[in-house]
Amino acid sequence: MTGHKKILAVLAHPDDESFGMGGTLALYAQQGVGIHLICATRGEAGEVDPEFLEGFDSIASRRESELLCAAEHLGIKKVHFLGYRDSGMAGSPDNQHPDAFINAPVETITGLVVAYIREFKPDIVLTFDPVGGYHHPDHIHIQQATTAAFEASGDPDQFQDLGSPFQPAKLYYHVFPRGFIRTVVKVLKLIGQDPTKFGRNQDIDLERLAGDEDYPPHVRINYRKVSHLKAQASGCHASQLSFSTQSPLLQRLTRWFNATKDTFMQAAPAVPENYRGKGLFNEG
Ligand SMILES: [Zn+2]
């Protein structure tokens, strides 16, 4: 029942799609759903070892090619870059760059997403949760613009010069269940690692995340049967792979979790907190 349907994912950096909701995208792509991805930046602020830059003139071009490789594995039909510069983590010098994504007004980004929604006409729009998954400023920025765009795109009185009004049916936020994060924090402490400096760039504060608001898990998508596609897509992002810095136990925990399911909160239209949908289209 999902043929001819369309999903638009709106994210910030090359790799967000694979390390995040990639399993869900691959699952629906296999069912014939048309999937497009908007990516706000080309991940210019990511750390890249020199060996990965051979044959590329910049970090941006390397990471763009990694994203196109991942899109192929996941079955994403089109990737649209907004062309902003990666802002880096909060407080980093990249924040000050004039082209940094966070320095573009939300209203401007909203217009770009509205125009894309009106042209592509997706049934479903996917983006980050309000804390951007792990407080990355670019994730929060695109989440705010996407939420505003979802609300504005069907309104004939807003962005009148950007195409005919079109209202997608549902907006979902990809969420990380806090119970899982709290488990990871416990494991890290047990093995003597600092949960406030997690990940390759040590920029993920899991302790802060564990204490954040727990967004309701309205829909759980089990994508086990396409987990190999998510793994292949993740493998495209060789310049960003971080597993070598993590303990084997944590690798296994992350793999177990990642190979199983994605969790989404239905942001619009509003549903009761204890609502449980059967799939993004409530298709069962
Ligand atoms: Zn990102």
User: 104-146 pLDDT, tens per residue?
Assistant: 999 999 999 999 999 999 999 999 999 999 899 999 999 999 9
CA–centroid distance, residue 16 to ligand 1 (Å): 5
Reduced to 3 states, what is the DSSP secondary structure of residue 270?
A: coil
90 alpha carbon to ligand 1 midpoint, in Å? 12
Q: Residue 197: what pLDDT?
A: 85
Residue 108 burial class via C-beta count within 10 angstroms: exposed 0-12, middle 13-18, buried 19 and up: exposed
pLDDT given for residue 244 in this prediction: 46
51: its two tokens: 């060996």
Q: What is the pLDDT of residues 54-104, one digit of tens each?
A: 999 999 999 999 999 999 999 999 999 999 999 998 899 999 999 999 999
Ligand 1 centroid vs 136 CA: distance in angstroms?
A: 7
SS3 readout for 117-177: HHHHCCCEEEEECCCHHHHCHHHHHHHHHHHHHHHHCCCCCCCCCCCCCCCCCEEEEEECC
pLDDT in tens, 29-48: 999 999 999 999 999 998 88
CA of 4 to the centre of ligand 1 (A): 29
Higher pLDDT, 177 or 250: 177
Is the pLDDT at 196 greater than 50, yes or no? yes
157 CA to centre of ligand 1 in angstroms: 32
- For 10, 88, 122, the CA distances from 79, given in Å and listed in that order, are 10, 21, 14
Average pLDDT over residues 138-167: 98
Cα 140 to ligand 1 centre (Å): 10
> At residue 267, what is the residue type?
A
pLDDT at 208: 92
- pTM as predicted: 0.93
Ligand 1 centroid to Cα of residue 17, in Å, is: 9
Q: Mean pLDDT, to the nearest integer, of 155-178?
A: 96
Report the separation in Å between the CA atom of 53 and the middle of ligand 1, taken as the mean of its atom positions: 20
Measured in Å, residue 204 CA sits from the centre of ligand 1 at 11
Distance (angstroms) between ligand 1 centre and the Cα of 160 equals 31
pLDDT of residue 29: 98
Helices (H), the chain: 16-19, 22-30, 59-74, 106-120, 132-135, 137-152, 178-190, 206-211, 227-236, 248-258
Ligand 1 centre from 139 Cα, in Å? 6
Instruction: Summarize pLDDT for 218-255 with one digit per residue, the tens.
Output: 999 999 999 999 989 999 999 987 544 555 666 666 66
* Per-residue tokens: 2: 């999902």
Residues 6 or more apart whose Cβ sits within 8 Å of residue 254: 184, 246
Q: In angstroms, what is the span from residue 22 Cα to ligand 1's centroid?
A: 13
